[in-house]
């Protein structure tokens, strides 16, 4: 009974200690991931720099979690999220491009910057057509749904000796269209 009461007292003190603290946010999650990666690297590369940096990062993370200055911590997080947004978008684009490398060309919309994909044979069709200008996006919508990248309507026309074709891409999200050059075989120029 006595130890149980002591345990409750400690928990109560702990709760009071945490009351009003800032806690976790996306910047702290990022700092923790970087610390984890550096920690793993420190096993491979012998340098005091890694443990030292890990220690500093964990200290910053803990300081931010326990901080009572919510306004300042929220501002730091905002700055982080603004800086991370284009990087995350780029990584998502590269990931989508890799995932669909065998079937689709992946673009970003020139206007709204959403990630779009066009079937690779859209370019091959145009390359084999004599007149050009015909729609090569006949498969549009076939794979729609369940995938992150929007299926754009790809209209291809023959261009410059059949090696490269200009594909007109219509963004399904914002409705704007723009052209991209792709090789007839579907490879990027
Ligand atoms: Zn768009």
Lowest mean pLDDT among 7-11, 30-34, 112-116: 112-116
Q: Are 141 and 153 in contact (CB under 8 A)?
A: no
Instruction: Check whether 81 has a pLDDT greater than 90.
Output: yes
Higher pLDDT, residue 19 or 147: 19
What is the three-state SS of 92-119?
A: HHHHHHHHCCCCEEEEECCCCCCEEEEE
Q: Of all residues in the chain, what percent carry a pLDDT higher than 90?
A: 46
Predicted local distance difference test score (pLDDT) of residue 164: 72
Predicted local distance difference test score (pLDDT) of residue 154: 59
Instruction: Check whether 185 has a pLDDT greater than 80.
Output: no
Q: What is the mean pLDDT of residues 33-51?
A: 92
Compute the distance from residue 110 Cα to the ligand 1 centre, in Å.
7
Compute the distance from residue 53 Cα to the ligand 1 centre, in Å.
41
Predicted local distance difference test score (pLDDT) of residue 136: 35
Instruction: Check whether 91 has a pLDDT greater than 80.
Output: yes
Per-residue model confidence as pLDDT tens digits over 96-152: 999 999 998 888 888 888 888 888 876 554 433 333 333 333 333 333 333 456 776
Query: What ranges make up the beta strands (E) of 44-100?
Result: none
Q: How far apart are CA 103 and CA 56, in angstroms?
A: 45
113, 176, 127, 159 alpha-carbon torsion, rounded to 10°: -100
Compute the distance from residue 77 Cα to the ligand 1 centre, in Å.
28
Instruction: Check whether 12 has a pLDDT greater than 50.
Output: yes
Compute the distance from residue 175 Cα to the ligand 1 centre, in Å.
6
Compute the distance from residue 129 Cα to the ligand 1 centre, in Å.
28
Give backbone dihedrals phi and psi of 117, rounded to 5 degrees, phi first: -135, 145
Predicted local distance difference test score (pLDDT) of residue 167: 79
Predicted local distance difference test score (pLDDT) of residue 133: 33
Q: How far apart are CA 103 and CA 165, in angstroms?
A: 17
């Amino acid at each position: 009974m006595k130890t149980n009461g002591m345990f409750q007292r400690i928990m109560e003190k702990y709760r009071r200690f945490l009351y009003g603290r800032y806690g976790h946010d996306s910047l702290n999650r990022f700092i923790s991931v970087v610390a984890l990666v550096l920690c793993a690297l420190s096993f491979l590369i012998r340098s005091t720099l890694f443990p030292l940096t890990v220690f500093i990062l964990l200290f910053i993370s803990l300081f931010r979690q326990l901080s009572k200055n919510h306004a300042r911590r929220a501002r730091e997080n905002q700055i982080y999220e603004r800086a991370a947004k284009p990087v995350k978008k780029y990584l998502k684009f590269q990931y989508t491009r890799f995932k669909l490398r065998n079937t689709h060309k992946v673009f970003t919309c020139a206007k709204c910057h959403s990630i779009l994909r066009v079937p690779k044979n859209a370019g091959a069709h145009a390359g084999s057509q004599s007149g050009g200008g015909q729609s090569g996006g006949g498969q549009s919508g076939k794979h729609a749904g369940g995938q992150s990248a929007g299926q754009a309507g790809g209209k291809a026309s023959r261009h410059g000796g059949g090696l490269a074709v200009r594909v007109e891409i219509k963004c399904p999200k914002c409705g704007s269209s723009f052209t991209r050059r792709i090789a007839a075989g579907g490879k990027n120029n």
